[in-house]
A and B are shown apart, each in its own frame.
Chain A
Amino acid sequence: MQKSTGDIIRHLLSGLYGYLRRCIFAILSVGPVPNHIAFIMDGNRRYAKKRNMREGDGHKAGFTALMSILRYCYELGVKYVTVYAFSIDNFKRKPKEVQTLMELMREKIEELLQQESLINEYGVRLHFIGDLKLLTEPVRVVVEKAMRVTAHNNQRVVLICVAYTSRHEIVNAVQECCKEKWNEVQASKEAKVPTGAFARIDQSMKANDFQDSCKAYSNGVESARKKDCVFDHNFGKHGVDHIETEITSCNKLVGINEAKKYKQGEVIKLVDIEKHMYMAVAPDPDILIRTSGEARLSNFLLWQTSTCPLYAPTALWPEIGLRHLVWAVLDFQRHHFYLEKKKKQF
């Protein structure tokens, strides 16, 4: 009987707490709500030590805290949440700890894919960000399954950084960017030219105008792509041999120009690198929170957090609560108006 009364009281309190929380979020939602919050989940081991628990239990408590925080974020209306679960540097830890973490990850991801989990409740899509080849086979299998199974979800997104460091992400993006640009240069040598553009190229080539030729060529190729017009239809007007010579010359011209630009690296722009980032699937974070009071980025989202406010509450990750999130969002809202005003000034 007593136990039942205790349960009822707990249930009522829990209901009341949930109601109060929703009221707080309703008030917060009057102002701008961050679209993307990133968390560095630091402090699990210290938490375990503080409570005389085994290290593995600290990480389990950390997972429970993660579920709570995700729920709070989704109730508030935050669409993207990114968490730093496991860094490439963490592989340097003791093999037993790494193995425990890998096993915990596999177990918890399987739990997340259960019907009654938070993932299905909120229609969450899972992305695993990092060098997944470094993960052990069982973890990699379940990670790929999780991404496949949740790919159709579009309400919320969780990005879990595992086997990740920002520098590795940038190196990968640079490699992909260089590969793409070099392929573009090769492809541009093979591209055909539409008639209208051809006339302009012909004219400018006769005037020995190198730059204009290539500009005309580029415009021609661009308009061809847009109108889907193919040069071949207009062969008859200009004579085949003449055309082929001109095209070959022009292709060489463009090829040389593009290769020259590639050689100089001019064709590479910021957006070219950005689109090859693992994190290109989400907008940049609006807030970064690192628990346990450490104020450093630890090779996490260096590119994406360059203009984002950083908060470092002293609470350990398993101790993170509603108040930390509310505080961070309030501060985001205060600075949001100031930043928007500054943007308008420019």
Chain B
Amino acid sequence: MTMLSLRLPISLVNSVTPPNIRITLSSKTHAAVVSKRSSATALPSLSTRNEGASVSGEVSEPLPAELAAELMPKHVAVIMDGNGRWAKLRGLPASAGHRVGMQTLMTFAKLCCSWGVEVLTVFMFSTQNWLRPKVEVDFLLRLYESSLISTIECMKMEGIRFSMIGDLSKFPECLQRMIISAENDTKHNSRLQLIVAASYSGKYDVVQACKSVAKNTKDGLLHLEDINENIIEQELETKCTKFPYPDLLIRTGGDLRVSNFLLWQLAYTELYFNSVLWPDFGKDDFLDALSSFQQRKRTYGGR
């Protein structure tokens, strides 16, 4: 199932057609598996999910035997697609899907902590998403605020360092202050760096890096002919981490594209596409992705 979309370019469900059997079955399959570990994603009732649960206090997950610790990716990036469709399948409003998706993210971050991933970058909100209906955008901004409030203490306790990349200036001021405060409060944490890409796109990142480079050349700090890949890398927003390039990118929801996420940084990233909708993405799906990653031969163009 998880490799199918990779081996054969089989058509996958999109959000405007009625849900087909494959998605329904996969959701049920994964829900059945996930329900053993938590009540998080059980169909169909939202109320079974423990919305106020803190990630701290749960037992740390040991690394499954199928995975080799030395082959774990240092930096995992995720495009969390499918919240809207997940809600639609259950006759719920999109907001419900986003709320559950946030829960899934926190569980996933905890799993990354346990399994030795050092950096996790998630595509929360792209520059294109500002074009969504105002009602949805406002809801999402409020959701981000409430999620930050409810998870900041957990992040501190779990040793998660919170960072944000993207155009902060587009957010309401109070959210901007909360984000900056969260970054400051967690900057000494080292167990996992959670980078949230919000109001971000890969092209925006390159353009803002170019502006910085232009400024430096004007100020005489840099000559035009000295502009090289390292110079650009140092100006990209991912300079906030020592591992700016993801080893593995996971996209849920079935779409086979990068959608303007981390453009420069994805040059050699292994891509993994999965048709499971994000709120249903659980430990087994992550295990599939990591198994696939560990079997790949990364040559970087050489031998």
Contact = CB atoms under 8 A, between A and B. Distances in A.
A259 B219 CA distance: 11
Interface in B241-269: 255-261, 263-264, 266-269
Contacts of B261: 306
Contacts of A94: 303
Interface stretch (B38-46, B92-100, B147-155, B223-231): B223-231
B9 A306 contact: no
B301 A171 contact: no
A171 B7 contact: no
A229 interface: no
B238 to A, nearest CB: 14
Nearest to B213: A174
Interface stretch (B55-63, B138-146, B200-208): B200-208
Given A178-B210, A268-B210, A299-B268, A171 B229 contact: yes
Contact of A334 (B11, B214, B219): B11
Given A273-B207, A346-B131, A298 B271 contact: no
Interface stretch (A10-18, A84-92, A240-248): A84-92
A228 B261 CA distance: 44
Contacts of A311: 9, 256
A179 B7 CA distance: 44
Nearest to B15: A338
B177 interface: no
B278 interface: no
Contacts of B256: 309-311
B11 A331 contact: yes
Contacts of A327: 8-9
Nearest to B231: A171
A89 B207 contact: no
B217 interface: yes
A178 B257 CA distance: 31
Contact of A270 (B10, B203, B215): B203
Contacts of B219: 263
A94 B268 CA distance: 21
Contacts of B217: 178, 182
Interface stretch (A24-32, A207-215, A249-257, A289-297): A289-297
B215 A306 contact: no
Nearest to B298: A296
Interface size class of chain B, counting residues whose CB lies under 8 Å from the partner chain: 35 or more
Contacts of B16: 338, 341
B267 A297 contact: yes
A310 B258 contact: yes
B215 A264 contact: yes
B86 interface: no
A116 B209 CA distance: 48
What's the interface size class on A, roughly?
A: 35 or more
Interface stretch (A73-81, A136-144, A162-170): A162-170
Interface string B102-120: 0000000000000000000
A101 interface: no
B46 to A, nearest CB: 26
B215 to A, nearest CB: 5
Nearest to B297: A294
B212 interface: yes
A151 interface: no
Nearest to A294: B296
A204 B268 CA distance: 54
Contacts of A93: 302-303
Give the one of A167, A177, A331, A334 with max B CB within 10 A. A167
B207 A263 contact: no
A84 to B, nearest CB: 10
B258 A306 contact: yes
A341 B269 CA distance: 30
Contacts of B259: 306-307
Contact of B258 (A259, A293, A305): A305
Nearest to A335: B14
A310 B271 contact: yes
A213 to B, nearest CB: 23
A298 B232 contact: no
Contacts of B90: none
B207 A268 contact: yes
Nearest to B132: A346
B281 interface: no
Contact of A295 (B10, B224, B232, B271): B271
B211 A170 contact: no
Contact of A262 (B15, B214, B258): B214
A306 B263 contact: yes
A249 to B, nearest CB: 23
Given A171-B228, A175-B227, A293-B6, A89 B302 contact: yes
Interface string A280-314: 00000000000001111111001101111111111
Contact of B7 (A293, A307, A334, A341): A293
A330 interface: yes
A263 B218 contact: yes
Contact of B232 (A171, A265, A270): A171
A170 B210 CA distance: 10
B270 A296 contact: yes
A296 B131 contact: no
A175 B210 CA distance: 9
B162 interface: no
5 contacts: A88-B301, A167-B229, A295-B272, A296-B270, A306-B261
The 3 closest A-B pairs by CB, nearest first: A89-B301, A265-B211, A92-B302
Given A92-B301, A331-B10, A338-B16, 6 more contacts: A167-B232, A295-B272, A305-B257, A311-B9, A338-B14, A346-B128
